[in-house]
Amino acid sequence: MSEITQLFQYNTLGALMAGLYEGTMTIGELLKHGDLGIGTLDSIDGELIVLDGKAYQAKGDKTIVELTDDIKVPYAAVVPHQAEVVFKQKFTVSDKELEDRIESYFDGQNLFRSIKITGEFPKMHVRMIPRAKSGTKFVEVSQNQPEYTEENVKGTIVGIWTPEMFHGVSVAGYHLHFISEDFTFGGHILDFIIDNGTVEIGAIDQLNQSFPVQDRKFLFADLDIEALKKDIDVAE
C-alpha cells in the first residue's frame, strides 16, 4: 500500500480542557475518517474507543456500550490504521518499558503514529472521565474521576502517539484507550502490565485537523494556551 495515511483529528484537546464539551460531530461522520482511535463523548461522558471501525463508550459506571451513528462527540482522533511495524511482546513488561520498545522502532520523533496492542494484561488501570457540564474545567473534573484496575484481562489498546510540537492540540506522547476482548471493560489508560501480546505501529503521513466551525462557544472561546498545556499534563 502506497496510499497516504491521514490522521483525522476533530477539535483540539486544548478546547476540551477549556470546558468545551458539547458534542458537534456524529460518530457516523467520524468513522468515515478512520477505524481506530480515541476521544470522548458529548458532556465528556466517558471515553471513546474506536476499534476495527466500531465505536464504543466506556462510561464512569464501568459499563461499555456500542455507539450508534447519531451520537455526537466534542473531541476525537481516528486513523485508517495500517500496521507498518509489528512485533510480539513475549515477556512481562510495564507500560513504560513497552513504550520504550515501541519508540525504538520510530524513525525520529516528529511524526504521529497509530498504536494497536492486542494481548493479555496482568494489570490494566483505566479511568473514565465523568459526565460534566460545559464550562467546568477538565482538570477539575478529572480530580474526581472513577478509576478501575482489572487483573488478567485480555483485550486491545488503541491510540495515537503525538510529537512534542503538537502538545496542546493533542497530548504529546501516548494517548491510549483500552477495551477488553469481551467488551465489558475499558477506558483511558493510566498504566498497565502486559505479559503477552502483539504490538502494531502504524505510520501517519498527514494530519487533518478539523474544527467545530459552527460552534459559537468554540469560535469565541478565549483560550489560555500555556495554562491549557499545563492542564493537559495534569489531566492526561
Residues 141-180 that bind Zn ion (CB under 5 A): none
CB nearer to Zn ion: give 144 or 152: 144
Give the number of residues in contact with Zn ion, rule: CB under 5 A: 1
CB nearer to Zn ion: give 167 or 188: 188
Beta bridge partners of 147: 127
CB of 48 to Zn ion, least distance (A): 8
Residues 10-69 that bind Zn ion (CB under 5 A): none
Please report whether residue 188 would count as binding Zn ion according to CB under 5 A. yes
Beta bridge partners of 77: 9, 38
Q: Among all chains, which residue has been given the C-alpha cell 464512569?
A: 60
d(CA 160, CA 207): 12
| Cβ(185)–Cβ(137) below 8 Å | no
CB of 175 to Zn ion, least distance (A): 6
User: Residue 6, exposed/middle/buried by CB under 10 A (0-12, 13-18, 19+)?
Assistant: middle
CB of 215 to Zn ion, least distance (A): 21
CB of 141 to Zn ion, least distance (A): 13
| Cβ(194)–Cβ(132) below 8 Å | no
Residue nearest to Zn ion (CB): 188
| Cβ(71)–Cβ(79) below 8 Å | no
CB nearer to Zn ion: give 81 or 188: 188
CB environment 106-123: b (16+ within 10 A), e (fewer): eeeeebbbbbbbbbbbeb
C-alpha cell at position 165 = 510540537
Stretch that binds Zn ion, among 2-10, 137-145, 187-195, 213-221 (CB under 5 A): 187-195
CB of 107 to Zn ion, least distance (A): 26
d(CA 57, CA 200): 23
CB nearer to Zn ion: give 158 or 204: 158
* String of contacts with Zn ion for each residue 117-136, x by CB under 5 A: --------------------
Residues 190-219 that bind Zn ion (CB under 5 A): none
CB of 116 to Zn ion, least distance (A): 15
C-alpha cell at position 142 = 478529572
Contact residues: Zn ion, CB under 5 A: 188
